[in-house]
Structure 1
Amino acid sequence: MLLLLVIIYLAFISLGLPDAVLGSAWPVMRQDVQASVEYAGLIALVVSLGTVVSSLMTVSLIRRFGIGPIVAVSVSLTALALVGFATSQLAWALLCLAVPLGLGAGSVDSALNNFVALHYRAKHMNYLHSFWGVGATAGPLIMANYIALEGGWRQGYWVIASVQWVLVVVLLCALPLWKVAGRSLEDSGSHVTPVVSNRQALAMQGVSLQLLVFFCYCSVELGAGLWSASFLIQERGTLASQAALWVAIYYGGITAGRFVCGAVAQRFSEVIMIRIGAILMVSGAVLLALPVQSWVANMGLLFIGFGCAPVFPNTLHLTPVRFGKGASQAIIGLSMATAYVGNTLVPPAMGLALKHVSFAALPYILLAFALVLFWATERLNQRPPFSDLQTKEGAAHSLT
C-alpha cells in the first residue's frame, strides 16, 4: 500500500498543476487567441461545472469500472485538454477544452479523497492536500518561466501536459496495484463497495452540515485569495507589490499548515485540528477588520491561511467515521461538488458586493462565513461515530 500511496500523492500534484495556470498565462495568451479579459472567467466557470458533474458521478463510475481505471482515464482527459490549450488558436476552442479539463479533475479529487479517508491515517490526508499545494504552486512557476522565454505560454502548457502524460503512463502501469490493494482490503474485511447513492446520502442526518462546511470553507479560501490584495491596496494603502506578497504568504500558510497538520496528526485528533483551524479563520478575519497598524492587520491573512489548512482534509477524513464507509464516497462526492459550487459562485458574487458597497466590507464577509463554518463544524463534532449510531438504531429497532 506504500507504493500506491506514493502514486496517489503524485496524482494530487498533477491535480494542482493546471489549477492556477490559466490565471497566470491569460494576460499573454488572450492576445494570441483573440479573447477579452473577462473570457477567462467563462472558461473557469465551465471547468467548475465539469468538476461538479464528475464529482456527482464518481459513485456510479467507481461501482462500474473501479477506482484505478477511473483515475487513469480522468488524468488522461486532463492531459488531452492541456495539449489542446497549448495548440488552440481560437477562444471558443478553449471553452470546449474546459469540459474535459473539469470532468477529469472532479473524478480524481473525489475518488482519491475517499480512498485515502477509508484506508489511510489522518496524517496522509493532510499530506495529500499539501502535495496539491505543491502542484498549484509549481504550475504558475513553470508558466512564468516559459512566458519569459521564446517558447511563451504555449511551451509552458506543453511542459505541464507532458508531466500529466508521464503520470498517465505511471497510472496505467499501476492498475495491477489497485487490484492487489482491493484483494488485500477484501481479505482484511476493510474494503467496502459504495452502496449509498447521492440521493440517499443527502437524506442522512448531518450531511447538510458537512456540505455547509465545505461551501463556507471555499467561500473564505477563494474570497480571501481573490480579493485580499485589492482590499489591502484600496483600504490600507498597501503597495501593489507588497499586497501580492501578502497573498503569496496567505497561500503559503495553507500549504505549510497542511504539512504541519500531517506531522502532528498522531498527537492531535482531527476534531481538535478542525476546531483550531476554524478559530484561526475567525481570528484572522477579525484582525483584518481591526483599525490597527497595517502589518498587524495583514497578519490576519496568515491566520486565515493557517486556519484553512486543517479544515478541508480533516473533515474529509472524518467522513467514513461520521457517516459510515458505505456512504463515504457519495458524501465526499457531494462535498467536493458543493466546494466547486462555492468556488464558482461566491468569489464573483463577493466581488460585485464589494464593488457596490466598499472593499472595507471584505473582512466582515469573511468573518460571517468563518463564523457559520465554526458553528457547523462544532455541530458535526457533537455527532457520535457511525458505529455508535448503528448500535443505538439497532437497539431502538429491537425495542419496537
Structure 2
Amino acid sequence: MKPSTSRSSATLLALAYLAFISLGLPDAVLGVAWPSMRGSFGLPHALLGLPLAVAATAYFISGMLAGRLMQWLGIGRLLAGSTALVAVCVLGYAASPSFVLIVVLAAPLGGFGSGAIDAALNTYAARNFSPKHMSWLHAAYAAGAMSGPVVMTAVLSGGASWRVGYAVVGCILAALALAFVPARRLWEAEPSTPHVVVDAPGGVGPLPLDEPPVGTLSALRSGRVWLQVAVFFFYTGIEVAAGQWSYTLLTEERGLGGTAAGTWVAAYWGGLLAGRLVLGFAVERVGQAVMVRVATLGVLIFAVLFAIPGLKVGVAALPLLSFALASIYPGLMAETPRRVGERMAPHAVGFQVSAATLGVAVVPSVAGLMSERFGLSAIGWVIACSALVLVVLHEWLVAVADRPA
C-alpha cells in the first residue's frame, strides 16, 4: 500500500470511529430528559412513546431506502449531511416551544438522520474494515449511547434545563458534522482504485467493487437477504427486551431491591460494551462466522438460565447474555457482503437496519403482552424462545452462506 493510501485509510478509520460515536450519542438522551421535559410541557408519562414511535417508523423507512441514498449521494456526503441533520434536529429539541414540534423533529432525527448514517456506516465498515474493527466500531456506538445520558445527567444535576443538555449534545454533533465535510471525498474510492480492508488477516486485500449495483426490488427477491433480515429482527428484539424488561422482572417478580436490580441492569449494558471490546481481539483468530455461531448458542443458553424462575444463577446470566449478544450485530454486518454479494450489500444492510428497528418494537411488546396474560415470568421465556428462533435462523443462514450469491 502506498503511504498516501495508508494515511487515507487511517484517516477514514478514525472518522468511522467518530461517526459511530455520533450515531449513538443522541439515542438514549430522551429517557433521561423526559421527566424534566414532560414537566415543562405538562405531559403524561405515556407520551414518551410518541416521539420514539415516530423515530422508529422513520428509521425503518430510511433503512429500506438506504441503498438507493448511498448510490445517489455516496457515503461521504450522506454521512456529513445526515450528521448535520441530526445536529439540527437535536438543537431544535433544545429550542422547541411545544411538544408537537419535538414529535415532528423525531422523524428526520431518527429516520433520515440516524437511520441513514447507520446503514451507510455499516455498509462501508463491512466492505473496508477488518472484523476486529467492526466489533470495536460498534463498541464506539455503545460508548456514544452511554455518553448522551451522561451529558444530560450532568446538566440536570447542575441545576440547568434539559434544553441546555440537548444544546450541548447538538453542538457536539454539529462539530462532528463539520469534521466529516472536508473528508467526504475520501470515502469514495476512485473507479480505478479498489476499496481495501484495513488490517485484514494476512495483509490488506481488495474487495471487487467494479460491478454495477442492483436495484432494490432485485435485492428483495433474494432469499438470502430475507434470512439476514429475519436474524437481525430477532437479535435486536432479544437485546432490547432483555435490557428494558429486566429491571421490572428482577424487582417485581424475583424480589430484588431497586439498587441491586439497577446494578444488574447496568451490568447487562456493560456486558455489551465489554463484549465488543474484548471479542474484537479474538475475532480474527476464531473467524467471524464461527464466533457468531458460538455466540448465538451462548445467547440461547444464558436466556434459558435467566428465564428459569428461582434459579440462583439466573440473575448472573443477565450480563453473560449481553456478552454473548455483543459480537452478533457487528459480525452479521461484517459477513453481509460475502453472504449476499457486493452488489446487494448496500440494500441488504439497509433492510437489516429496518428489520432491527422492527425487532426493537415487536419483541419487547410481545413480552409485555405475554406478561399481562401469564405473569412477569413469561418475559424471560419470550426472550428464550426468541433466542431459539435466532439459533435456527442463523444455522439456516450458515448452511447456505457458501453458495454463490
**Quick check: TM above 0.5?**
yes
Listed one character per residue, the Cα deviations across residues 276-311 of structure 1 (whole Å, up to 9, x for unaligned) are 2111211111111234454x2101211210111011
Q: Give ranges in structure 2 of 5+ residues lacking alignment.
A: 1-8, 197-205
| Secondary structure in 1 matching 2:34 | helix
Q: Give ranges in structure 1 of 5+ residues lacking alignment.
A: 391-400
Q: In the alignment, which residue of structure 2 is the partner of 1:32? A: 40
Shift of 1:99: 1.1
Q: In the alignment, which residue of structure 2 is the partner of 1:352? A: 369
Partner AA of 2:297 in structure 1: I
Say whether the 8 Å CA contact 1:63–1:193 is kept in structure 2.
no
The counterpart of 2:101, out of the listed 93, 97, 100, is 93
Partner AA of 1:211 in structure 2: V
The counterpart of 2:358, out of the listed 332, 337, 341, is 341
The counterpart of 1:303, out of the listed 320, 341, 353, is 320
Matches within 5 A, 1:1-400: 1-102=9-110, 103-179=112-188, 184-185=193-194, 190-192=208-210, 195-294=213-312, 296-385=313-402, 389=404
CA separation of 1:180 and 1:117: change in aligned 2, threshold 3 A = closer
**What is the aligned residue count?**
387
User: CA–CA distance in 1 between the matches of 2:397 and 2:44?
Assistant: 44
Listed one character per residue, the Cα deviations across residues 142-168 of structure 1 (whole Å, up to 9, x for unaligned) are 111111112221111111111100101
Q: In the alignment, which residue of structure 2 is the partner of 1:396? A: none
Listed one character per residue, the Cα deviations across residues 161-216 of structure 1 (whole Å, up to 9, x for unaligned) are 11100101101121232245666327967334662223211211322221111111
User: CA–CA distance in 2 between the matches of 1:77 and 1:383?
Assistant: 39
Say whether the 8 Å CA contact 2:68–2:347 is kept in structure 1.
no
Say whether the 8 Å CA contact 1:220–1:370 is kept in structure 2.
yes
| TM-score scaled by length of structure 2 | 0.91
Partner AA of 1:238 in structure 2: L
Shift of 1:137: 0.7
CA separation of 1:361 and 1:179: change in aligned 2, threshold 3 A = closer
| Secondary structure in 2 matching 1:326 | coil
Say whether the 8 Å CA contact 1:257–1:306 is kept in structure 2.
yes
Percent identity over the alignment is 34
More helix by share: 1
CA separation of 1:249 and 1:194: change in aligned 2, threshold 3 A = farther
| TM-score scaled by length of structure 1 | 0.93
Listed one character per residue, the Cα deviations across residues 211-269 of structure 1 (whole Å, up to 9, x for unaligned) are 11111111101101111110001111000111111111001111110111211122111
